[in-house]
Structure 1
Amino acid sequence: MLDDLDRRILRHMQSDPEQSIPDLAERLGLTPSRLSRRLEKLREGGILLGSRAMIDWRALGYTVEVSLRVTLDKTNPRAFDEFIAQARDIPEVLEIQTFLGQVDVRLSVIARDMGHYQQIYRSAILTLPHIADIEALMHVARIKSNESLPL
């Protein structure tokens, strides 16, 4: 389990992920070597998964985001596996989520504009296997998107 120091480390890393180990250690009142050992322990425990670049896809010209709620034909026992394997190969699919209930899968798809989305939808999405039903939800605004945890 996390102790108070682990939580403080993670809070600081969430608030400023680009800070250096020496700067973070100074803010926390630790030596860099002690902080490094703690970080390694958090990585080994599977809590700290690493760092990544956050890229604003809108700044790269993608202006359309659509959520597709997909119901699969579950008469085929491999429907989920085959659908997901092929959906992963579509570069514009940013996220794939599976659910229990009427909707089986949600795809988050980005496109440069509506014409580009229509092309992706027709040539890639509709060719995915085992689709029984599909519903498109056009994103209008993202009200909250926060990956920081309340530590």
Structure 2
Amino acid sequence: MRRLGAGFRPGAVMLALGLLLVGLPAACFLTSYGCGEEEDRLAEALAGEAVLDSVPEGADREDRYRECDDDDRFVVVGTRYRHGDSADGVLRHYEAAASAAGWRPRAAKGGNTVPGCFTKPVGGTTAYLTVEGPDDGRLHVEIIADRAGSPWC
């Protein structure tokens, strides 16, 4: 005579193992994926940097933006301008504005610096200020950072 429930145990064990091996990683992914409070605090710190409000002569602000990449959790805060001046004039403006706000030119190999790239500790990590353009009459000034300390620009 066969005992009632004897076939139930292996099935229950397989179900429990399946939930453990598939369910636990899925739950972990769903609860830790994407930008959260930590990235929001970093974005607030970056957005408060005065250099983003420094407008070169002859520039008209188009927009200000704040983004976070859900995959890599890096934060970007920036401003776009319409500008018709030369790149040299814009770079000189931001070199002075960045220096006054405590930003330093990013060092490159051989003791040189990376043009249009500055670094500064912000919100407990290293932030990178980049100045791009003006290309086609557009100028981008943005700050990017993440908690992993990734090098940018």
Greater strand content: 2
Structure with the larger RCO, 1 or 2 (CA within 8 Å, 6+ apart): 1
Q: TM-score, structure 1 length as denominator? A: 0.31
Q: TM-score, structure 2 length as denominator? A: 0.31
Q: If you compute each CA radius of gyration, which structure gives the higher value, 1 or 2?
A: 2
